[in-house]
Structure 1
Amino acid sequence: MGVPALIVTGVYLRALAVAVVVAPAAGDLGALWWMTLFAAPEASIQVTWPNMLLLTLAGLVVAWALWECLRGPLTGPPAEQDRDTRHLRVALYVAAVSTLVNPFLVTWSLWGAVETLMPMFGVVLLLSPVVGRTRRRVLILQICGLLGYGGTAVGPGLALSGHEAGALALVTGFASLIWTVLVLRA
């Protein structure tokens, strides 16, 4: 499956490069936002270098995820999985399905937050025993996962000014990005 994965990933990276070039020229992050976050862009988002950098990094993570997922399993006999690994695998599939359902939610309500975030909290808790060989690695995984998804959950409910909301979105965005990279690497 390496060739189809390479083609799909290459097409995505080219579209990402075009969106990165067009966004500052047009003064609109709409296309880049859709390509990287797979959600409707916020009306108040502006074309600034931190926003462009975060969205570009998110797009590179999506490209890496496409490559990792589409190329298929490694050749040879499958590795033996213990009970924790099987539970984590199920939690990752549930989280992926909830992420696919998220764009069809009409509004970001309490139930939408619960539907999206509860599977990811399960992944945060189940991932640590599987990949955590050291206490430091487990702590980094848990902090990034909980900060990224927890901050996203409570952010809309907080009465923050525009600058504070932007800072919270930047912190939760970077934490989610680091979390995604660590999960894909694990």
Structure 2
Amino acid sequence: MTMVHAHIGEGVLKVNILNEDDLTENFKQCDVVISCLGTPPSWLSLTPVTLYLGSMKVITSAMRKAGVKKVVRMSSMCSKSEPGNPVWVEWVLKPLTLGKLLQNMAQMEDYLTSQCSDLDFTVMRPPGLKNDPSSGKRNDACESQFLAGADWSMPRRDVAKFMLSCVVDSLWLKKIIAIGVPK
């Protein structure tokens, strides 16, 4: 069972992220869902990762039942293998640690674009995350697998700030974008 703490208004609730009824009832009080759910990578794991797609299916179903139309979701840079992706990501990180995670993130992204045209979604692909204070810089974004010219990691606070900006800004609606902090 996957339990998360959901922030609703001023309170914190413990809910099963895979229980649609738990989510539906709580989403009725919301205008937007922001999701940063994740799981740590594991070295050479043979176990498939299902959290990203599985939770997004439950979340979007609960959103529909609760009448919530907007979701902002974090994914990861290079979730899909495309020409131009950094070689070290494709040939080192994916085979050793991130492959199954990124594959499931890509499945989640495909699900949103193919099955959720009725929802206003924004998915962002940040680079590696770090616990540093905010960079104080403007975050850049583009429709891509990764943001060329950006640092290879960014503070979680900068990601959160960008996600919150997507709540009120319609620039990236129904888009999957790479974000980053300029070098």
TM-score normalised per structure 2: 0.27
Bigger-Rg structure (1/2): 1
Name the one with the larger helix percent: 1
TM-score, length-scaled by structure 1: 0.27
